Amino acid sequence: MKAIVAVDTEWGIGNQGELLVSLPEDQKDTFRRLTYGNTIIYGRKTMSTFPAQKLLPGRTNIILSRNPAFAKDGAIILHSDEEVLEYCRNHPEEEQFLIGGAEVFQGLLPYCSEAIVSRIDHTFHADVFFPNLDEDLGWKEVSRSEVIHSVKGFDFTVHQYRNLNIQF
């Protein structure tokens, strides 16, 4: 399992239940390119931020919800971090991406072998944050893209981190 996320300079990922900013270049060239045809894992609150709450096409959508009555046509619903980990163990042929939100990252990031982090060169007002992997001795940056310029005026770079606590 891998994590994929966009953060600002303070590692912020959202504010009041919304993304900080949507950058078309990052969504298409990073997020879509890596996740399309694969499995994405996210929380119910994250799904509520999708346009019309529609599942992301071309991917297996797994939604994590504590509510046992929650259902969404076309999605796999799991109810705990343990169920997600069991799913991942039982589907080793799938490439799985953890896409948020903060609670899902908090519980499952330690089990991710890699994190793909789009770092936006701007500080937004954020109320939820991704862990600062640069300060975490259990993670190591292994690659970084050149600066990418967005039509929205925010430069960003894509960093790949490896979880040193997981053996390959």
DSSP assignment, residue 70?
Answer: -
Q: Give me 101's structure tokens.
A: 């939100």
Residue linked to tokens 């996320």: 5
CATH number for domain 2-163, candidates 2.60.40.420, 3.40.50.150, 3.40.430.10, 3.40.640.10 = 3.40.430.10
**Segment holding 144, helix H or strand E:** strand 139-144
Beta strands at 114-120 and 60-64: parallel, antiparallel or unpaired: unpaired
| The predicted structure's pLDDT at residue 167 | 73
**Helix and strand tally (H, E) in the chain?**
5, 11
Asked if 86 contacts 135 with a C-beta cutoff of 8 angstroms, the reply is no
The residue among 19, 86, 13 whose CA lies nearest residue 76 is 86
φ, ψ dihedrals at 109, nearest 5°: -55, -40
- The answer, yes or no, to whether residue 56 has pLDDT greater than 70, is yes
Q: How much of the chain, in percent, has pLDDT values that exceed 90?
A: 90
Asked if 123 contacts 9 with a C-beta cutoff of 8 angstroms, the reply is yes
Per-residue pLDDT tens digits for 76-94:
999 999 999 999 999 999 9
Rounded distance between C-alpha atoms, residue 140 and residue 54, angstroms:
35
Residue 117 in 3-state DSSP?
strand
What are the residue ranges spanned by the domains of the chain? Answer: 2-163
Per-residue pLDDT tens digits for 98-155:
999 999 999 999 999 999 999 999 999 999 999 999 999 999 999 999 999 999 999 9
